[in-house]
C-alpha cells in the first residue's frame, strides 16, 4: 500500500497534487487573517491522505484553497498548488472551472445542504457530465444511474426522480459521492464527510469511501477531526494545528510513534475501548487553540505544551524535521524537542483513581412510558376521524441508579433519550409509570409544580454549548440566579461568593462573572453549564450529550471535569450519549436504547462483551477506534432508522437487524432476557446463541496502557 507514496516516488510519476509553502489568508475588517501557514502536501496517484485537526486549524481552508474557492475575501498569499503539474494559482477562472468537478471533486460535511433542494437528484447528477464532457442527456442519465449503483444505492431509478429531502442522510451522502465521482476525478477532497451522520450510517459511508479509494485509483484527501476514521481510510496523515502541519507520516508510523506533543495530546484525549475513567483518566490538553492573528511566536503549540521551553520554543518559527525515512515514507514533525521528549515517561506520572463506591439507589425509573399525540393533518384522516396518532417516544423504560453512580443512556438520533431526559426534568410528564427520586415520584409532576428542593436535586447539563447559556446575560447572573432561585443564598454578596466558588470548581477564572456567553469558547460554556447544574448541590445530574459538540481536546477536559465534580459530590450522573467509546470510558452501567425502547441494559463490562444485543453489536462495530492494533469486526447496518411515527410492529430493530431470525422479529415484541442480575437483552434470539457471538472488538494481548509506545 505504501509503495507509491512520498514526494518522489520511484517510478517518477508526477504526484496528483503537490502543494508547497502554501499560505492562505482571509481579509476582514480586522485585517489579514492568516488561516493557513506554510503548508506542504503531496498526494500521489491513488493515495489517500488524511488531514486531521481540531476545528479552526485551517483544514477546510486547505481544501477550499486547492479548489481555489476562497470566497471574495480569501486568497492564496504564497506558495504553489500544483495539480497534475499545473499551478492552480496561475489558471484563469475558466480553466479553474474546468478543473473543478472534472479533475478535482469535493464531498462535504452536510449532504443535505450540499444538494440543491429544488432540483431532482437526476438533474444535479446529470449536469456534471453534460457540462464537462458535453455528453447527451441519455448518456448522462445512464452514467448517473451507473454511478448510483456503484455507490450501493438500492433503487437508483426511483432515487433519481427524487428531491434531496426525500432521501435519508446516508443516501444523500452517497449521492454526493456519486456526483463527485461522475467525471472520474483524479483527486477527491472529502471534508468531514460523515460528521453529520449517525454512527451506524457513518460506518457504511466510511466503508464505501475506503472501498472506492482502493478500487478507483482516485487520490483522496480526507479531512476529519476523528483520528479513528483516518485509520480506516487513509494511507498517510497530516496533523494540522493552527494553520500548519505539525506532524505527517504514514498512518502506522503516526499512530505508533506520535512525535509531536500535540499529536500525542490528541491521542490522550480519546477514550479507547480498553480504558476507563479510573484506570486511565483522559489526559486533556490544557488551553485552547490560538486565534489566527494571535499566534504566539515560535511554536504555535507552545503555550499549551507540557514540554515548552522558554527561549527555545518561542524564538523562531519551527521548521519541519524528518523523524525518519523508512522506505519512501517520510515521518516529519514540527517540534524542536521531538527526540528529547519521552512520552512514556510523561505518561507514568499520571494518577489512577479509585472507583467511586456506589451508594443507595437514588433514582428509580419504573416502567416509564411517554406517548405523544400527533395530530394527523391529512384530509382522509380528518374524514375518518382518526386524526390523532400516538408516538411512543419512550416505551417501558426501567432502570435505577445509585448515589455516585454513572449510568449511560446510549442510542442514535430518535431513540428517545432526549424525551427521557425531558420527563425526568419535568418538562414533560410521563404517560405511565414512575420516576422516583429519593422515593418521590417525579414523573407526573411537571416542573412548575416541583418544589425548589426537588428542582435543585435534579439538574441537567445540556448538549449544545451555544444554546446552554442565555446570550443576553452575564455568566455571573446566570449562575447567581440559580443560587437565588433554589434559596441557597439570598444575600447578594454571599451569592457572589458562591458563584466565584463554583467558577473555581469548574476551573474558570473568577472574572468570568462579568462575561457574556459569546466571549467564551465552547468548552468554557459547557463548564459554566456544569457549574450551573451543580450550583444547587443536585443529587442527580443528567448530562445530555455534553461533549458531542466539542473538539476532542476540549471534550476530554470537560469529561474529566464532570467526573471530578461527580466524584466530589457523589452525584448520580445520567450520561446520555451516542458515543460508545465515551460511554465505555465513564459509565458504570449502560442502557442501550433504540426507537424509544431499551434494547440492552447492564454494567459496562456486560454490555461490551457478549452476549450482545445485535444492535449493541452493530453500534460497537461502528465506533471508530484510533488504535491500529485493535481489531474490529465490521458490521454495516442496512437501511435507515425507521420514523418514530411509524415504528415496526415487532422488534423495533427488526428492519435493520443483521441477525434477524425471521418473521417473528417483525411481528412480535422481543422478550426481555435476563443474563445475570441486571444484564438484560430484549431479543428473540436465545441468550445462549447470543453468547456464542464473537466479541466485536479484540484488544491485542499486551500492556493495557500504551497505544503509543515508541520503540525508536
Partner 1 sequence: MATNSDSTPLVRPDSTILNAVKAMALLRESPVGMVGALIVLFFVLLAIFAPLVSPYDPNATMLPFAFPGTAAPDGGVFLFGTDHLGRDILSRIIWGGQRVLFYATVATISAYIVGILMGLAAGYFRGYLDEIISFFANVILSFPIMVLYVLIIAKLGASGLNIVFAVVFASSPGIMRIVRGVTMDIATRDYIAASQTRGEGPWYIMLVEILPNARSPLIVDFCLRMGYTTITIGALGFLGLGLPPPDPDWGGMITETRAFVTGGFPHMAIMPACAVSLLVLGFNLLADGLREVSLRD
Partner 2 sequence: MSQLILRRVGMMILIMLVVALLLFLMNEGDPRLIARSVLGPYAQDQQLDAWIAQHGYDRPIMVRYFDWIGRVLSGDLGDSIIYKRPVNEIFWDRLGNTGILAGVTFVVMVVVALTLGVLAGMKEGSAQDRVISVFSITTTSIPEYASAVLLAWIFVFGLGWLPGTSAMTGGFNVVELILPVMVLTLYGFGYVARMTRASMAEVMTNHYIRTAMLKGLPYRHIIMKHALRNALIAPFTVIMLQINWLLSGVVVTEFAFGYKGFGALLLEAALRRDIFVIEACGLAAVFVAVFTQTIGDLGYTYLNPRIRFK
**Torsion angle in degrees (nearest 10) through CA of 461, 465, 469, 472:** 180
* Residue 27 CB burial class (10 angstroms; 0-12, 13-18, ≥19): middle
The three cell numbers locating residue 288: 485552547
Contact positions with partner 2 (CB under 8 A) in 86-105: 97-102, 105
With a CB cutoff of 8 Å and minimum separation 6, the contacts of 319 are 334
x-marked contacts with partner 2 along 12-51 as a string, rule CB under 8 A: ----------------------------------------
In this structure, are residues 205 and 172 in contact, taking their beta carbons and an 8 Å threshold?
no
DSSP for 54-92, please give it: -TTSSHHHHHHHHTT---TTEEEEEEEEEETTEEGGGS-
In this structure, are residues 624 and 607 in contact, taking their beta carbons and an 8 Å threshold?
no
Closer Cβ to partner 2, 185 or 624, answer by number:
185
x-marked contacts with partner 2 along 284-303 as a string, rule CB under 8 A: --------------------
In this structure, are residues 222 and 209 in contact, taking their beta carbons and an 8 Å threshold?
yes
Closer Cβ to partner 1, 266 or 409, answer by number:
409
For residue 166, the partner it binds in partner 2, partner 1, none, with Cβ less than 5 to 8 A by kind, is partner 2
Taking CB under 8 A as the criterion, the residue among 486, 608, 612, 653 binding partner 1 is: 486
Q: How far is the CB of 36 from partner 2 (least distance, A)?
A: 18
For residue 450, the partner it binds in partner 2, partner 1, none, with Cβ less than 5 to 8 A by kind, is partner 1
In the block, cell 434470539 appears at 685
Closer Cβ to partner 1, 462 or 653, answer by number:
462
Q: Does 570 bind partner 1 (CB under 8 A)?
A: no
In this structure, are residues 243 and 531 in contact, taking their beta carbons and an 8 Å threshold?
no
DSSP H or E stretch at residue 247: strand 244-250
Taking CB under 8 A as the criterion, the residue among 7, 10, 13, 69 binding partner 2 is: 69
CA distances from 476 to 187, 292, 502 (A): 51, 29, 10
253 secondary structure, DSSP code? H
**Torsion angle in degrees (nearest 10) through CA of 83, 87, 91, 94:** 0
Closer Cβ to partner 1, 339 or 519, answer by number:
519
Binding part of the chain for partner 1, among 140-148, 471-479, 549-557, 681-689 by CB under 8 A, reads 471-479
Size of the site for partner 2 (CB under 8 A): 34
Q: Does 71 bind partner 1 (CB under 8 A)?
A: no
x-marked contacts with partner 1 along 493-522 as a string, rule CB under 8 A: x-xx--xx--------xxx-xx---x----
With a CB cutoff of 8 Å and minimum separation 6, the contacts of 614 are 653, 657, 658, 659, 683, 685
For residue 706, the partner it binds in partner 2, partner 1, none, with Cβ less than 5 to 8 A by kind, is none
Contact positions with partner 2 (CB under 8 A) in 140-199: 162-163, 165-166, 176, 179
Taking CB under 8 A as the criterion, the residue among 57, 458, 531, 587 binding partner 1 is: 458
Contact positions with partner 2 (CB under 8 A) in 382-441: 382
578/603 Cα distance (integer angstroms): 17
Return residues touching partner 1 (CB under 8 A): 29, 422, 425-427, 447-448, 450, 452, 455-456, 458-460, 462-464, 467-474, 476-478, 480-482, 484-486, 492-493, 495-496, 499-500, 509-511, 513-514, 518, 529, 532, 536
Return residues touching partner 2 (CB under 8 A): 67, 69, 72, 97-102, 105-106, 108, 110, 113-119, 127-128, 131-132, 162-163, 165-166, 176, 179, 377-379, 382
Amino acid at each position: 500500500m505504501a509503495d507509491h507514496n512520498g514526494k518522489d516516488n520511484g517510478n517518477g510519476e508526477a504526484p496528483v497534487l503537490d502543494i508547497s509553502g502554501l499560505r492562505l489568508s482571509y481579509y476582514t475588517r480586522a485585517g489579514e487573517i492568516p488561516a493557513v501557514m506554510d503548508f506542504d502536501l503531496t498526494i500521489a496517484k491513488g493515495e489517500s491522505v488524511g488531514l486531521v485537526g481540531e476545528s479552526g486549524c485551517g483544514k477546510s481552508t486547505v481544501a477550499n484553497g486547492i479548489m481555489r474557492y476562497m470566497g471574495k475575501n480569501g486568497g492564496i498569499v504564497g506558495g504553489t498548488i500544483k495539480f497534475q503539474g499545473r499551478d492552480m494559482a496561475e489558471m484563469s477562472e475558466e480553466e479553474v472551472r474546468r478543473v473543478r468537478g472534472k479533475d478535482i471533486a469535493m464531498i462535504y460535511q452536510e449532504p443535505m445542504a450540499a444538494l440543491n433542494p429544488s432540483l431532482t437528484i437526476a438533474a444535479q447528477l446529470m449536469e456534471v457530465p453534460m457540462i464537462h464532457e458535453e455528453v447527451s442527456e441519455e448518456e448522462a442519465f445512464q452514467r448517473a444511474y451507473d454511478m448510483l449503483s456503484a455507490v450501493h444505492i438500492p433503487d437508483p431509478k426511483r432515487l433519481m426522480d427524487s428531491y434531496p429531502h426525500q432521501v435519508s442522510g446516508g443516501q444523500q451522502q452517497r449521492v454526493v459521492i456519486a456526483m463527485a465521482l461522475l467525471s472520474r476525478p483524479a483527486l477527491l477532497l472529502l471534508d468531514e464527510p460523515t460528521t453529520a451522520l449517525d454512527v451506524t450510517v457513518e460506518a457504511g459511508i466510511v466503508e464505501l469511501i475506503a472501498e472506492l479509494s482502493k478500487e478507483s485509483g482516485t487520490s483522496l484527501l480526507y479531512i476529519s477531526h476523528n483520528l479513528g476514521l483516518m485509520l480506516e481510510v487513509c494511507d498517510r496523515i497530516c496533523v494540522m494545528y493552527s494553520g500548519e502541519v505539525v506532524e505527517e507520516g504514514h498512518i502506522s508510523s503516526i499512530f505508533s510513534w506520535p512525535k509531536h506533543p500535540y499529536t500525542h495530546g490528541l491521542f490522550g484525549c480519546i477514550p479507547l475501548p480498553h480504558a476507563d475513567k479510573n484506570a486511565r483518566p483522559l489526559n486533556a490538553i490544557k488551553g485552547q487553540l490560538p486565534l489566527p492573528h494571535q499566534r504566539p511566536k515560535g511554536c504555535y503549540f507552545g503555550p499549551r505544551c507540557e514540554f515548552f521551553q522558554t527561549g527555545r520554543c518561542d524564538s523562531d518559527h519551527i521548521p519541519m524535521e524528518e523523524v525518519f525515512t523508512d522506505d519512501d515514507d517520510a515521518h516529519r514533525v514540527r517540534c524542536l524537542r521531538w527526540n528529547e521528549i519521552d512520552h512514556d515517561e510523561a505518561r507514568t506520572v499520571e494518577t489512577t483513581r479509585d472507583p467511586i463506591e456506589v451508594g443507595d439507589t437514588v433514582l428509580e425509573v419504573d416502567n416509564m412510558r411517554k406517548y405523544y399525540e400527533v395530530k394527523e393533518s391529512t384530509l382522509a384522516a380528518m374524514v375518518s376521524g382518526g386524526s390523532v396518532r400516538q408516538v411512543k417516544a419512550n416505551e417501558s423504560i426501567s432502570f435505577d441508579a445509585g448515589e455516585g453512580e454513572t449510568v449511560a443512556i446510549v442510542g442514535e438520533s430518535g431513540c428517545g433519550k432526549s424525551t427521557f431526559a425531558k420527563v425526568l426534568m419535568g418538562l414533560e410528564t410521563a404517560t405511565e409509570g414512575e420516576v422516583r427520586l429519593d422515593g418521590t415520584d417525579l414523573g407526573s409532576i411537571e416542573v412548575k409544580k416541583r418544589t425548589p428542593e426537588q428542582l435543585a436535586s435534579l439538574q441537567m447539563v445540556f448538549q449544545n454549548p451555544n444554546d446552554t447559556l442565555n446570550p443576553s446575560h452575564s455568566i455571573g447572573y446566570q449562575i447567581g440566579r440559580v443560587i437565588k432561585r433554589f434559596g441557597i443564598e439570598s444575600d447578594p454578596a454571599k451569592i457572589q461568593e458562591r458563584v466565584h466558588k463554583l467558577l473555581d470548581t469548574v476551573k474558570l477564572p473568577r472574572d468570568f462573572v462579568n462575561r457574556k456567553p459569546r466571549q467564551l469558547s465552547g468548552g468554557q460554556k459547557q463548564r459554566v453549564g456544569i457549574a450551573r447544574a451543580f450550583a444547587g448541590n443536585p443529587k442527580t445530574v443528567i448530562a445530555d450529550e455534553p461533549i458531542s459538540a466539542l473538539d476532542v481536546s476540549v471534550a476530554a477536559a470537560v469529561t474529566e471535569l464532570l467526573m471530578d465534580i461527580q466524584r466530589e459530590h457523589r452525584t448520580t450522573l445520567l450520561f446520555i450519549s451516542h458515543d460508545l467509546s465515551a460511554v465505555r470510558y465513564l459509565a458504570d452501567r449502560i442502557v442501550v436504547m433504540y426507537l424509544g425502547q431499551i434494547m440492552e441494559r447492564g454494567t459496562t463490562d456486560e454490555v461490551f462483551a457478549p452476549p450482545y444485543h445485535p444492535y449493541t453489536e452493530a453500534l460497537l462495530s461502528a465506533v471508530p477506534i484510533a488504535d491500529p492494533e485493535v481489531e474490529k469486526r465490521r458490521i454495516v447496518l442496512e437501511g435507515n432508522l425507521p420514523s418514530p411515527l411509524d415504528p415496526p410492529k415487532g422488534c423495533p430493530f427488526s428492519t435493520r437487524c443483521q441477525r434477524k431470525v425471521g418473521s417473528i422479529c417483525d411481528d412480535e415484541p422481543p422478550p426481555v432476557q435476563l443474563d445475570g442480575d441486571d444484564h438484560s437483552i430484549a431479543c428473540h434470539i436465545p441468550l445462549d446463541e447470543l453468547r456464542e457471538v464473537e466479541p466485536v472488538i479484540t484488544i491485542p494481548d499486551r500492556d493495557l496502557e500504551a497505544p503509543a509506545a515508541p520503540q525508536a
